Amino acid sequence: MTTRALARMAMVTVFGYGWLLGGALGLGQASAQTATASFVNAQGEKIGTGVLTDDPAGVRIVLDLSKLPPGSHGFHVHAVGQCTPPEFTSAGGHFNPLVRKHGTKNPEGWHAGDLPNLVVGSDGTLKTEAVARDVTLGSSTSALSLFPPSRTALVIHANADDEKTDPAGNAGARIACGVITR
């Protein structure tokens, strides 16, 4: 029996209305899973972080980055949790456990790792949020978990993703990468 279950039982036994207190204190609710990604650029310099949190729509990703080229950039979850500069090919292809085509505009579906383009400001900074649909931070036994045995990584590309061309939306070179960790 879990500590939360024992605490809830004690409240019910002692207070008689512990179910109300347990709900108000959040004892009966599962806490949201979180993860982080520390991004490096092609020179191996740390350029910021991403914080990932379970969200009803998938996984929410909050980015706080700098030293990026201004403009629009493709952004994806990649299938391997390795970020070896300068090309970041160690991160493998897009996270695609459902074996779909690339791009949110593709009528045949999209990779679970396909994310919206990022727009970096003229000063090279980026503070934004995105939601990765169809994925979870949960158990590594789920095909949609961002924690398979090889882990996963977040990758930023040099160009915007056209959101339809397989396999990577013509997004160009990989310019920044962050391994997703708990």
Residues annotated as catalytic (active site), given as ranges: 76, 78, 94, 102, 111, 114, 157, 174
- Alpha-carbon distance of 169 to 182, in angstroms, equals 29
Q: How far is CA 160 from the centre of its chain?
A: 19
Q: Find, among 115, 17, 107, 125, the residue nearest to 57 by Cα.
A: 115
Q: Partners of 18 in the beta sheet?
A: none
Other CB atoms closer than 10 Å to residue 7's CB: what's the count?
16
In the chain, at which residue ranges do the beta strands (DSSP E only) sit?
A: 34-41, 46-55, 58-65, 71-73, 75-78, 118-120, 126-132, 153-157, 174-181
The answer to whether 77 touches 94, Cβ cutoff 8 Å, is yes
